[in-house]
Structure 1
Amino acid sequence: MNPLNEHLFLAINAGAHPPPALLAFGLFCAQWLVPLTVALFVLLWIRLPRPEHRAALITATAVMLIGLGVNQLIGAFYFHPRPFVLHLGDQYLPHPANNSFPSDHGTFMWSLGFALLALGRLRAWGVAVILGGFAVAWGRIYVGVHWPFDMLASFCVALAVAFLARPLLRPVERWALPFFDTPYRRLIELLHLPPQAFPR
């Protein structure tokens, strides 16, 4: 065990008697910011119908999936037990005793955010997702299911795959955007959904 990793974990982890409000916030960050980010991307897709915005959302999603694939590749060659497996710190979120390195949650958030920044589109939302990634990282360490170095590795993976965003943008605009956008537009027209809520 890396002493610095252990020291940082114990400094961030909730400990035996955390303040209830802070623990509730940590659990919220650890569990709900990722699904809320998915909901955000769906909402942005609905509310921002311009092709350049939707192409950015698809590209960022592709970059994120590549990042998660890199995580799986790393995990196939390197296994790191979670803190609770080593009986270190206090765990407040039930979790399987699988590989902790890197964090899929961290990679998910930061890959999406960095990809939007790299594309120069929806940059404010990219910054918001990146900041949300730091909250996820803190929360998952605080509730005892990840190490700080898990999150550092996720940050590095996300930065690395974000460089793929610009090369992916052109094929996304040419192939993926029509594949997803055309059926979506046909569906909302078929359902007669109001254009005020579902802009064309």
Structure 2
Amino acid sequence: MQDVNISLFQWLGAGHSPDAQFLWLATLLAEGTSWLCLALLAVAAWRQPAQRGYLMATLAAAGAASLAAHALAQALNLPRPFVAGLSPNYIAHGARGSLPSAHASVMFTLALVLCLRPALRTLGLAVFAIALVTGWARIYVGAHFPFDIAAGLALAIVITGVFWVLAIGVRRIVVPLIARDDARSAKPTGTPAA
């Protein structure tokens, strides 16, 4: 499998002789698209106030994806392409473990969780496209192997599945309990004193 991963990296990555324009673009994308996603979420929260709670839950899921990705990368401690000598380190990046990509895990989680909500599905598809482009960019600059990005997507699918199950539980159990308690507190408790 690692031979396939290396072959894919050599096809997609800049290696030791990058195209200057691709390197400029890949560097911009590898380092800036996280901020673009955050800006898109902020615009969505501003334009769709009814979705703000869901957007906050989406950020919580992305935080969980980040924590899980970093923990897995630390446990697996697989080398990055620039550590393995397959490419220079074209962006400032530490040499810690690379699989799964935390960027891919977070961005794909954002995209998938947003796609679960019909009112935010278009935004989710846009974030998914940004995540794909970012994945390519982070491969091109030597920060990740292709399997690191794929593992980030796989982790995002798992986190999104957990989010979906929790959301069903909240809708079926928590919301009715709150509604019941609200109904009880709205009823008069007795006759007023004369």
TM-score, reference length from structure 1: 0.78
Q: Which amino acid counterpart does residue 110 of structure 1 have in structure 2?
A: F
Report the equivalent of 1:15: 15
Q: CA deviation at 1:18?
A: 2.7
Q: Which amino acid counterpart does residue 7 of structure 1 have in structure 2?
A: S
* Distance (whole Å) between structure 2 residues aligned to residue 7 and residue 85 of structure 1: 16
Q: CA 1:55/1:169 → structure 2, altered by over 3 Å: closer, same or farther?
A: farther
* Distance (whole Å) between structure 1 residues aligned to residue 163 and residue 138 of structure 2: 27
* Distance (whole Å) between structure 2 residues aligned to residue 119 and residue 160 of structure 1: 17
**Structure 1: 5+ residue stretches without partners:** 175-200
* Distance (whole Å) between structure 2 residues aligned to residue 17 and residue 109 of structure 1: 29
Question: Larger Cα Rg: Structure 1 or Structure 2?
Answer: 2
Q: CA deviation at 1:34?
A: 0.6
- Does the aligned pair in 1 maintain the 2:79–2:95 contact within 8 Å? yes
- Kindly indicate whether residue 53 of structure 2 is the aligned counterpart of residue 45 of structure 1: no
* Distance (whole Å) between structure 1 residues aligned to residue 58 and residue 13 of structure 2: 31
* Distance (whole Å) between structure 1 residues aligned to residue 107 and residue 101 of structure 2: 10
Alignment of 1:170-189 (within 5 A): 171=170
- Does the aligned pair in 2 maintain the 1:102–1:153 contact within 8 Å? yes
* Distance (whole Å) between structure 2 residues aligned to residue 84 and residue 66 of structure 1: 27
Match of 1:142 among 118, 140, 143: 140
* Distance (whole Å) between structure 2 residues aligned to residue 82 and residue 16 of structure 1: 15
**CA offset digits 1:152-184 (Å, max 9, x no partner):** 11000001111133344475997xxxxxxxxxx
* Distance (whole Å) between structure 2 residues aligned to residue 169 and residue 43 of structure 1: 23
Report the equivalent of 1:133: 131
SS at structure 2 position matched to 1:86: coil
- Does the aligned pair in 2 maintain the 1:64–1:112 contact within 8 Å? yes
Report the equivalent of 1:77: 75
Report the equivalent of 1:60: 58
* Distance (whole Å) between structure 2 residues aligned to residue 72 and residue 94 of structure 1: 17
Report the equivalent of 2:34: 34
Residues paired across the two proteins, number: 172
Q: CA deviation at 1:70?
A: 1.8
Q: CA 1:24/1:135 → structure 2, altered by over 3 Å: closer, same or farther?
A: same
More displaced stretch, 20-29 vs 100-109: 20-29
Q: CA deviation at 1:76?
A: 4.1
Q: Which amino acid counterpart does residue 146 of structure 1 have in structure 2?
A: H
More displaced stretch, 130-139 vs 165-174: 165-174
Cα RMSD of the aligned pairs, angstroms, is: 2.1
**CA offset digits 1:19-65 (Å, max 9, x no partner):** 32221111111000011111211121122212xx1122112112111
